[in-house]
Structure 1
Amino acid sequence: MQYQKFKFNGYAIPFQDFIPLLKFLYSNCNSISSIIFKFSEVNFNINNYSLVEECSTQMIVSQHNLKKISFGIFYNLNLYNPFLSLKNSNCSNTLNTIVFYFINFKNIINILREVFDHLNVLESIHLINCNYLNSNFVQQIIKVIKPFKLKSLIIHEILHIESLLLLLQKCGYYLENIRYFYTNVLDDNNIYLIIKNNQHNINYLTIAVKFYEYDTVYNELSSTVLKNLGQILSPKLEYLCLVLLFNTSDLEIFLKNSQNTFIKKLLIRNIVMYGDGDGDFNILFYIKKYIMKKERVKYLAILEEDELFFPKKEVNEFKLYNIIVQKYHDLCIYNYSYIINNYLQY
């Protein structure tokens, strides 16, 4: 039997069904080129963990033409043997893409170098909201002899800036997609240093405050972003998404500082804080002045209390300047689905 792609979603398949399915596939299919593992511990009894790990490992080892693989949300499942099997399988000369999604690297930290040095044609590595990206992780990656081609780095906070900067010294040249979700650390300027040092190869950038965290000081965080970001952007970006509490004075600073940057897709989500006088709902005037009239974007989405997309008069005005206004959620790139659709598809 021949399949090009296998997507295993542990959320959707009951345990009693997927183990027989995995056994059938690794016994009968050896030409799968793309495997996506996405596990949920809620479907597993702790006594079944070893069986899940064994079947996942066998699934990888049985393949002769595996080119792309994604490990997602392993929780208490041990990734050690499935990951190590990449070294011991037939894919050392075929595997070109690996995605790690919500993976804790603690259990595989000691085999990172060993495995990556056996992958001879690896072209694309993606880290999405992973844990244990500390000095131990970075030291293992630095020791990897082959290029570590990190294309996507999506993180919610920077805990080990020195280690992260060392990692980017090794692989920052390859980085295309960086997304950072701000916490409540007001003096965290590390993200700007990372962007500045890698500005010429970053094409996709998202910076957002966690507006569902009630203790976040939205106005100070947002002000810090708008005052520091514009001047370090590259001359051309494919995608910029800002989820902030905007005020017009800081927004104008950002727009002036970034006036030499063309952005293909610009998304602005202005956080609405009822009862807070720091936000501003009159940002459209500045968007028109610095973005629309200078034709600095191709696609635009703005979400405040209402969408910019719905007043057709506004949409038509932007169209006169060759700017296409879209719905925010239609234009927004969602991390996991974007990586899967763009790097694990044929």
Structure 2
Amino acid sequence: MIDIKTKLFEYGINYNSLFTNTLFNYPSFLKYLNTFKFIYFVEMWLHIAIRNLNLENRLYDSEENIMRSVYMSLFKIFINEVNLHTLEIEISGHEALINTIELISKNQNFIQNVRNLKLYIKDCNDNKIINNHILQVIHSHRNLKKISIDSNNLSLYQSLLLSKNYNCSNTLNTIIFFNVQFKLITNLDKQIINSTKPFKLKSLILYEVPQIETLQQLLQKSGNYLENFGGYEREISADRMINFIENIKQSLNYLLINIWGNETICNSIILKNLGQILPSKLDYISLDFTIKESDFRVFLENSQDAFINKSLIRLEIGSDNILHYIKEYIMKKKRVKYLAIMDCNKKKELFDLKDEVREFELHNIKVRRYSDLDINVYDFIKNID
């Protein structure tokens, strides 16, 4: 800690809380580390410390240089003294995260001693230097569990798909492609379909549907493993979405349907056909589009055999009042456990109507704020194992 204390002293930051003699060797107790969270909290602490500095004590170094010195010094301590059980490396265009992956890639022993390694790659669009560091980490580690890629990084995809030098082929169980244009990746579907290794597609969230034949082949290859499905209506027809949901309903747990704009015909087709294809139990459903009461009644009548743990409805502009149908078909029959309704017309939530909330509670249905039940897609997929 001496180097850090000296550096902080040079910048005029009070370091009295950093004791020279500690009761324990604290780094040795550290078993989990997430690089993004680590840098975030270091920066938050330094922001406060620098803000409280007297101007005469401040040197001409920029705040960024102070932060770089501190988090790099701390991370070198982790590399030399910590034996981690789980390391989560988050990589983006943030300079601190880039510096961290570079430092990690140059210390092979640190990586090899980590039992569980998870990589989250975001917004690194074809940066060759970053890609080389990422591939170096992947190739050197024997226990890589998860890779999550959130960017249209063509060169990195190709390197991952074409490389045969993985030490982690027996431990890697999750690859997540988020916000990726697969049409930019030539022959990806063929490589998956023709692969001799087991392939389980557990989550699929679409903004547009690829060729239907390709999608069917992927589903056949993965078996009945798809549990989580989401569709954002842009180029996905209502009929395609309904057919797709019907094909995967036996294993479906999470269902998200978001339709932009007042697509009256599309919304009607989905509601009139969705109810009868829902599984008997569903952990989560989110409907976010313009809803007409006649279509919603058909949906509720057709889905009376389904129990839903968490049900979210966001009534977009132009929707009808459907609360009376929710009471008749959902509340009285106790078909959900948690319920959240956002009415964009009135700019109110069901949660704000206290008398209504109490009425639902009498039927053992817990009304929550929409934001409390709403699942952030990126956070959701990061927690997928």
| TM bucket normalised to smaller | 0.7 to 0.9
- Whether 1:297 aligns to 2:348 is no
**What does 1:28-177 correspond to in 2, within 5 Å?**
28-32=110-114, 33-41=116-124, 49-75=127-153, 78-85=156-163, 87-105=164-182, 109=186, 136-177=187-228
Amino acid at match of 1:81: S
Task: Indicate conservation of the 8 Å contact 2:122/2:151, yes or no.
Answer: yes
Distance 1:268-1:283 versus aligned 2 partners, 3 A rule? same
The structural deviation recorded for 1:8 is: 1.7
Task: Indicate conservation of the 8 Å contact 1:31/1:65, yes or no.
Answer: no
The structural deviation recorded for 1:223 is: 1.2
SS in structure 2 opposite 1:269?
A: strand
Task: Indicate conservation of the 8 Å contact 1:34/1:68, yes or no.
Answer: yes
SS in structure 2 opposite 1:90?
A: coil
Unaligned runs of 5+ in 1: 110-135, 211-215, 274-278
Using the alignment, how far apart are the partners of 1:18 and 1:203 within structure 2?
A: 37
Using the alignment, how far apart are the partners of 1:199 and 1:16 within structure 2?
A: 41
Using the alignment, how far apart are the partners of 1:190 and 1:16 within structure 2?
A: 41
- Whether 1:21 aligns to 2:103 is yes
- Whether 1:319 aligns to 2:361 is yes
Aligned to 2:75: none
The structural deviation recorded for 1:10 is: 1.1
CA-to-aligned-CA distance 1:94-139 (integer Å, 9 cap, x gap): 2122211223446765xxxxxxxxxxxxxxxxxxxxxxxxxx4433
Number of matched pairs: 299
Task: Indicate conservation of the 8 Å contact 1:2/1:30, yes or no.
Answer: no
The structural deviation recorded for 1:171 is: 1.6
Using the alignment, how far apart are the partners of 2:83 and 2:139 within structure 1?
A: 16
Task: Indicate conservation of the 8 Å contact 2:90/2:97, yes or no.
Answer: no
Amino acid at match of 2:211: H
Partner residue of 1:266 out of 297, 301, 311: 311
CA-to-aligned-CA distance 1:6-29 (integer Å, 9 cap, x gap): 222314335873454343454632
Distance 1:52-1:83 versus aligned 2 partners, 3 A rule? farther
Give TM-score scaled by structure 2 length. Answer: 0.71
Unaligned runs of 5+ in 2: 1-81
Larger Rg: 2
The structural deviation recorded for 1:179 is: 0.5
Using the alignment, how far apart are the partners of 2:263 and 2:182 within structure 1?
A: 31
Amino acid at match of 2:169: S
Task: Indicate conservation of the 8 Å contact 1:38/1:74, yes or no.
Answer: no
- Whether 1:307 aligns to 2:349 is yes
- Whether 1:237 aligns to 2:237 is no
The structural deviation recorded for 1:307 is: 0.9
SS in structure 2 opposite 1:205?
A: strand
Give TM-score scaled by structure 1 length. Answer: 0.79
The structural deviation recorded for 1:71 is: 2.0
Aligned to 2:253: 203
Task: Indicate conservation of the 8 Å contact 2:146/2:172, yes or no.
Answer: yes
Using the alignment, how far apart are the partners of 2:323 and 2:297 within structure 1?
A: 11
SS in structure 1 opposite 2:328?
A: helix
Using the alignment, how far apart are the partners of 1:328 and 1:262 within structure 2?
A: 19
Partner residue of 2:324 out of 265, 285, 310: 285
Amino acid at match of 2:380: Y
Using the alignment, how far apart are the partners of 1:20 and 1:67 within structure 2?
A: 20
Task: Indicate conservation of the 8 Å contact 2:91/2:101, yes or no.
Answer: no
Percent identity between the aligned chains? 41
Task: Indicate conservation of the 8 Å contact 2:246/2:278, yes or no.
Answer: yes
Ranked by relative contact order (alpha carbons within 8 Å, sequence separation 6 or more), the top structure is 1
Using the alignment, how far apart are the partners of 1:52 and 1:12 within structure 2?
A: 11
SS in structure 2 opposite 1:199?
A: helix
Using the alignment, how far apart are the partners of 2:377 and 2:148 within structure 1?
A: 13
Amino acid at match of 2:368: Q
Aligned to 2:8: none
